[in-house]
Amino acid sequence: MYLSSLFVVIVVIAVVIKVVVVAAVVVVVAVVMAVAIILVLVVVVVVVVVVVVVVVVVVVAVVPAVVVVVVVIAATAVVIEVVAQQQQQKQSSSSSNNSFNTRRTVFTHRRYMCGVGAKDVTQLETDAPDQRADIGGISRTSYHTDNYSRRARLTGGRTKCENKQIGKTY
């Protein structure tokens, strides 16, 4: 009987040790799994935070630079357009001035009929009276005409219509 109770005690102790070992193993596995899950969650949170920080830094650093580049390009395009319009306006105004001057010149330097007006003589910027008189067909302003008339009288130069047919247009 002593042996059988000793056997029962040994069996009970073995069962208790087995249960304790299994429980310990289960607890250790549970703790390890819990730590692993926590570590995975921490890593995931850290990765998400790093990605968010990188995105924010990129947005804060790159978007203003892109906006600045776009604004500079737009401003450059506007300046180029304004300069082109000014150049076009200059060319338009200079060509219109040229056409106005041409028209004014046409009106000022009109052809005339010899013998019709006493002041229809040609004033040229040369000292030779013969050259002044031989170039024809142009009537100058009254100042030039008067000036030429005085010079013609003083130097003996000829007027425009001398040696031409009276009444004929030159």
Between 165 and 126, whose confidence is greater? 165
For the cut 50, the answer to whether the pLDDT of residue 15 exceeds it is yes
Average pLDDT across the chain, whole number: 70
**The whole model's pTM is what?**
0.34
Burial class (CB within 10 angstroms; exposed 0-12, middle 13-18, buried 19+) of 120: buried
List the domain boundaries for the chain.
1-61, 110-170
pLDDT-based confidence at 99, cuts 50/70/90? Answer: very low
Cβ atoms within 10 A of the Cβ of 141, count? 12
In the chain, the percentage of residues whose pLDDT exceeds 90 is: 36
Q: Are 116 and 160 in contact, with CB atoms under 8 Å apart?
A: no
pLDDT of residue 32: 96
- Output phi, psi for 169, to 5 deg: -85, 130
Q: Give the pLDDT of residue 96.
A: 53
Q: How far is the C-alpha of 43 from the C-alpha of 92, rounded, in Å? A: 71
Residue 113, helix vs strand vs coil: strand
Highest-confidence range of 1-10, 114-123, 161-170, by mean pLDDT? Answer: 1-10
Q: Please tell me the distance from the alpha carbon of residue 137 to that of residue 168, in angstroms, as a whole number.
A: 11
102 vs 112: CA distance, rounded Å: 18
